[in-house]
Amino acid sequence: MNENRVKRNRLLGERMVKNLESRNMEGFYAETKEELLKNKYKKQLEIYKKALEEALNRKVKKTYIYSLKLNKEIPF
């Protein structure tokens, strides 16, 4: 009887750890996707920023992109 309890507790513990790992990995992947988008569009946004500043003779204070897939703004 005691062996069954130990096995059951071990299985519960393993499930809890796997659940926590998967939750942490989701956050990790979200950050990685943002970084990938930033790296992909950084040069393009720099060009747009420079063009706007020259055309309007004003300083651009903020640049960002909006990811439809992540459903959020990503500041640069």
pLDDT tens-digit readout, 13-59: 666 655 555 555 555 555 688 888 999 999 999 999 999 999 999 99
DSSP calls for 39-70:
HHHHHHHHHHHHHHHHHHTS-----EEEETTT
Q: What pLDDT score was predicted for residue 65?
A: 93
Q: What pLDDT score was predicted for residue 62?
A: 93
Q: What pLDDT score was predicted for residue 74?
A: 92
Structure tokens at 58: 């004003």
Range of the domain at 7: 2-75
Total domains, the chain: 1
